[in-house]
């Protein structure tokens, strides 16, 4: 009898394991890993830009700017060029049903418009910039920018590197084995801004000066169309706020040249992604209770 009892006790774990059922593959289920790649367009609010250097400290109020989408189709299909346009990349994990955490890299671009009609405040030392003839003190004077003499942009990258927490809800499935699904996504994110800065002023045109320049906050909503439980096409709208605390504008390490700026943005993107299910069992939820 003792031998029989011991044998039963030894066998119980194996019997339980055999009764585990496969968990249905659902895109929002805990244990789902996903990643995507796509492209974006972005619009920015008007802003105030403060330019600071050893011999000037002035602000432009009412600056308008836009993005810079690529018009060369090869940039979207050639694997060697796919990082040239404004792109979005993400990898994420559902840490519980409906809730995911992900790392996002939004490669945006920011270019101030040529012919900006702005208000000029601050001070520029005499002789600093003979090309624009700006000199002395300013208190709200009207000024129109000229790209050949004054320009700023992040065409090599205004990169929003962020952590996102998203809620996913699946609203519809149909077809054999539920091959098609439709889900909504709403998320909050925060992260750092890595910028590559081009700045033309005072006779100098410095290109791609790199700096960790500030931080951003955003809210994202999206619609996800899922195919065969592993592939999805998703459209997102992402809006928020960027605070550029200190943008390095010149590469000279011996002097402090930088820019300060705040603005709002709204971004639309379309992405293509994949999903994988690393927890295919239901953790023995249906096992018998002994």
- Find the CATH number of the domain harbouring 69: 2.40.160.20
Planar angle of CA 280, 284, 288, nearest 5 degrees: 150
Query: In the prediction, which pLDDT does 243 show?
Result: 98
pLDDT at residue 11 is higher than 60? no
When pLDDT is cut at 50, 70 and 90, the band that residue 4 belongs to is very low
Looking at residue 160, its pLDDT comes to: 97
Q: What are phi and psi of 128, to 5 degrees?
A: -70, -45
Question: Does 21 map to a domain?
Answer: no
Cβ distance 197 to 249 under 8 Å?
yes
- Whether residue 104 is contained in a domain is answered as yes
Supply the pLDDT for residue 252. 85
165 domain-assigned: yes
Is pLDDT above 80 for 170? yes
Taking only the tens place, the pLDDT of each residue in 242-264 is 999 999 999 988 788 999 999 99
pTM over 0.95: no
- Does residue 209 fall inside a structural domain? yes
- Whether the predicted pLDDT of 7 surpasses 60: no
Question: Is the pLDDT reported for residue 282 higher than 90?
Answer: no
Please state, for a pLDDT cut of 70, what percent of the chain lies above it: 88
Residue 22 lies inside a defined structural domain of this protein: no
What mean pLDDT do residues 166-183 have?
91
Tell me the pLDDT of the chain averaged across its residues.
Answer: 88
- 13 inside domain: no
Q: Which domain holds residue 49?
A: 29-277
pLDDT one-digit tens code per residue, 16-72:
444 444 567 889 999 999 999 999 999 999 999 999 999 999 999 999 999 999 988
Does residue 49 lie within any of the structural domains?
A: yes
Spell out the SS3 assignment of the chain. Answer: CHHHHHHHHHHHHHHHHHCCCECCCCCCCCCEEEEEEEEEEEEECCEEEEEEECCEEEEEEEECEECCCCCCCHHHHCCCCCCCCCEEEEEEEEEECCEEEEEEEEEECCEECCCCEEEEEEEEEEEEECCCCEEEEEEEEEEECCCCCCEEECCCCEEEEEEEEEEEEEEEEECHHHCEEEEEEEEEEEEEEEEEEEEEECCEEEEEEEEEEEEEEEEEEEEEEEECCCEEEEEEEEEEEEEEEEEECCCCCCCCCEEEEEEEEEEEEEEEEEEEECCCECCCCCCCCC
Number of domains present in the structure of the chain: 1
Model confidence over 180-202: pLDDT tens digits? 999 999 999 999 999 999 999 98
8 A C-beta contact, residue 30 and residue 94: yes
pLDDT category of residue 155 using cuts at 50, 70 and 90: confident
Tens of pLDDT, residue by residue over 195-241, are 999 999 988 899 989 999 999 999 999 999 999 999 999 999 999 99
Residue 11 falls within a domain, yes or no?
no
């Amino acid at each position: 009898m003792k031998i029989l009892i011991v044998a039963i006790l030894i066998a119980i774990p194996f019997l339980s394991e055999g009764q585990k059922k496969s968990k249905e593959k659902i895109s929002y289920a805990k244990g789902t890993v996903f990643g995507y790649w796509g492209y974006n367009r972005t619009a920015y609010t008007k802003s105030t830009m403060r330019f600071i250097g050893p011999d000037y400290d002035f602000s432009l109020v009412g600056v308008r700017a836009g993005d810079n989408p690529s018009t060369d189709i090869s940039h979207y299909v050639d694997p060697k060029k796919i990082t040239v346009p404004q792109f979005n990349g993400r990898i994420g994990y559902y840490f519980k049903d409906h809730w995911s955490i992900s790392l996002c890299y939004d490669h945006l671009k920011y270019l101030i418009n040529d012919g900006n009609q702005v208000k000029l405040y601050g001070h520029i030392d005499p002789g600093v910039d003979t090309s624009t003839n700006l000199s002395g003190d300013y208190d709200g004077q009207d000024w129109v920018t000229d790209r050949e003499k004054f320009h700023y942009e992040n065409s090599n990258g205004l990169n929003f590197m962020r952590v996102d927490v998203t809620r996913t809800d699946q609203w519809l499935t149909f077809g054999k084995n539920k091959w098609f699904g439709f889900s909504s996504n709403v998320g909050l994110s925060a992260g750092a801004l890595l910028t590559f800065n081009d700045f033309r002023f005072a006779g100098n045109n410095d290109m791609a000066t790199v700096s960790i320049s500030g931080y951003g906050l955003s809210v994202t909503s999206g619609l996800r169309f899922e195919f065969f439980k592993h592939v999805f096409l998703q459209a997102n709208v992402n809006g928020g706020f960027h605070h550029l605390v200190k943008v390095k504008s010149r590469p000279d390490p011996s002097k402090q040249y930088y820019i300060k700026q705040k603005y709002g943005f709204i971004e639309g993107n379309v992405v293509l992604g994949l999903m994988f299910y690393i927890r295919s069992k239901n953790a023995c939820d249906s096992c018998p209770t002994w």
